[in-house]
A and B are shown apart, each in its own frame.
Chain A
Amino acid sequence: MAVQPAPHPAVNYSTRVDEISPRARTLNGVRAVIVLLIALVMLIPVAWMTLTAFKSRPDAVAVPPKVLFEPTLEGFVSLLTSRRQLTTQQIEEYSQRTDLNWADLIALSRGQAITGPSNYPQRLANSLIIAGVSTIFSVALGLLSAYSFSRFNIPGAGDLLFFILSTRMLPPVVVTIPVFLMYRAIGIYDTHLGMIILYTVFNLSFSVWLLKGFLDEIPREYEEAAMVDGYTRLQAFVKIVLPQSLTGIAATTVFCLIFAWNEYAFALMLTADRARTAPPSIPSVLGTGGIEWAAIAAGSLGFLIPVVIVTFALRKYLLRGVTFGAIRQ
């Protein structure tokens, strides 16, 4: 794939006659309204999720669905604690007590007593560690390989690059069975280390391709000039190339993070309890007698927010990065 210069950032000061006529302007306004409507429709499920997270159990399954309701943190309490059902007598005893905090009171209102934290915080911590560390590794290793592919004459570079990309085409299940057996044999099944290695590798292919595209765009004259001035190759890489490729690094980080954070299939099949991440746990937040939709919504919402924040913060890199650098036309 030939590398071509980046497109000029959208220039919108058009001088075209067909675009400044009143009719064109009206059409433009209509277009904006249509886009806004579509965006609103597409966000309904996300909005519904947010609402559900703050609903009480009866409100979550009310017929017809309730848009207006009294917000409660019941869902969050169900998500984060484990509780036991109280008898009528115990409820009365509990009601007398004065040492109850707000979470206990919410549980009590449903006739339950909090017995301790649920395993969800632990799973969320697992997600943070595994997604965070694997993202750092895949971006770091990807950057080094991408630099080599971009700057040095590597025999068979094209084939190697295709090989690296093709690893992404495998259905997870093809890889999981042998990896499962391998991990079990060497004792890293259901460990953080095992999941970090796996996610690192799965993001590596992507990260090499993406970063190579960005590095290709940095003129090599910069480093060459630095090396003429007495820098070693490594110094030039650290002091010249690295600062210039921050955009690419940011874009790659977002993509790797989204993948590792949300991954489900591997986590389901290669972890049991110790290293289980949040995505396979959210479906298992089941209550006694029926699904706790509020708890599920609360878990999903809490799980979405970090990604949205990171994505919004880095959104201009994301928009640029998705073209895979090299495929920009």
Chain B
Amino acid sequence: MLKHEAQAPPAPAARPANRRQISDRTLSQLFIWPTLILLIIINIFPLFYSLFLSFTNYSAIANRPPEWIGFTNFDRLLNSSDIWGYFSLTGRYALISVGLQTVIGFGLALLLRKKFRGSGIVTTLILIPMMLSPVVVGLFWKLMFNPAYGIFNYLVGFTNPVTAPDWLASPSLALWAIIIVDVWMWSPFVMLLCLSGLSAIPDYLYEAAAIDRASAWFQFRRITLPQVAPLLLIAVLFRTIEAFKAFDLVMGLTGGGPGNATQMISVEIYSQAFLGQFRTGRASALAYIVLVIIIAVSNVYIRTLNKVREG
């Protein structure tokens, strides 16, 4: 709009400006459509196709076309106590793991908030776990958790290999082992988001509080926390979605074992779809249930987030 006014004689300018408008639109179409087409092919088509498959008894290795079986898959899944067990396991894992990451990540951000010599390097070093491939992380921690020659037990004080806990073989400890690794790997991510939130808090707020002789706790509760809350919630949202999708790390560490002790829901979908009987239809149905849950959870988060922003 500005550029119309910028051209001095209005009459001759009308045509080029007009042409530029059209070319702008064409350009924006040209710029946007490749992205949208790719997203539609790779995301939207599969989404609908797997919705269709979830109502069939299709198996990817069987030589027969999908056969419509109505709600049978959903019926079986929702009435299976195993599946509910996997869901509650995944939920418990997400809750504990994301909770710990939030506390540790936020704490680290508070500590790193004021710069000291070398703090930039230290921050980047803390980020290294995040750069590793989750499956490699899982695999390597398997070595560290080994009761005989793993270093983890020695580090936490169990120096006798005979009495030391076998983290990955014990049904009660295996989940905690995965939580430990996940917290180690992703606390830095929460820290990074919190750091950028903290660095944006204007200094004068604290100065005003200091003049009023407000306690450190009061400053934290009334200034730091509300100001950093939006970014903290985004970090929690991303981590929660990821925790519900937990797959790589679990596959690397336990593969769902011992028994079914760490059979997260994603691992279950994978085993249904790609192992044993290749139950593609049922795996799709399960995937859909997970998707609905993730969308519901994200919506709750996003609403909270918007409330925090506005309030």
Contacts and interface: CB of A to CB of B under 8 A. Distances in A.
A319 B149 contact: no
Interface in B69-115: 108, 111-112, 114-115
Contacts of A322: 192-193, 196
Given A177-B284, A327-B234, A10 B115 contact: yes
A252 interface: no
A262 B140 contact: no
B291 A170 contact: yes
Given A177-B283, A177-B287, A39 B122 contact: yes
A323 B248 contact: no
Interface string A118-149: 00000000000000000000000110110111
A240 interface: no
B273 interface: yes
B27 A178 contact: no
Nearest to A143: B31
Interface stretch (A88-96, A98-106, A107-115, A200-208): A200-208
Contact of B39 (A167, A179, A224): A167
Classify the interface of chain B: helix, strand, loop or mixed: helix
A47 B55 CA distance: 49
Contact of A44 (B28, B32, B155, B266): B155
Q: Determine which residue in A142, A261, A308 has the highest number of CB atoms from chain B within 10 A of its CB, and name it.
A: A308
A154 B27 CA distance: 12
Interface residues of A, number: 104
Given A144-B32, A204-B35, A170 B43 contact: yes
A233 B155 contact: no
Interface in B1-60: 2-3, 6-7, 20, 23-25, 27-28, 30-32, 34-36, 38-39, 41-43, 45-47, 49-50, 53, 60
A247 to B, nearest CB: 14
A310 B290 CA distance: 35
Nearest to A200: B38
Interface in B136-175: 136, 139-141, 143-144, 146, 148-151, 154-155, 159, 161
B177 interface: no
Given A262-B136, A319-B195, 7 more contacts: A10-B115, A16-B203, A28-B114, A35-B116, A63-B149, A265-B266, A283-B252
Interface of A: 7, 10-12, 14, 16-18, 28, 31-32, 34-36, 38-39, 42-46, 48-49, 52, 60-65, 141-142, 144-145, 147-149, 151-152, 154, 160, 163-164, 167, 169-182, 197-198, 200-201, 204-205, 208, 224, 227-228, 232-234, 258, 261-262, 264-265, 268-269, 279-280, 282-283, 291, 293, 296-297, 299-300, 303-304, 307-308, 311-312, 315, 318-320, 322-324, 327-329
19 contacts: A17-B210, A18-B210, A49-B140, A154-B28, A171-B244, A172-B247, A174-B47, A177-B287, A178-B45, A178-B49, A178-B50, A197-B42, A228-B3, A261-B133, A262-B132, A268-B251, A304-B128, A320-B196, A322-B196
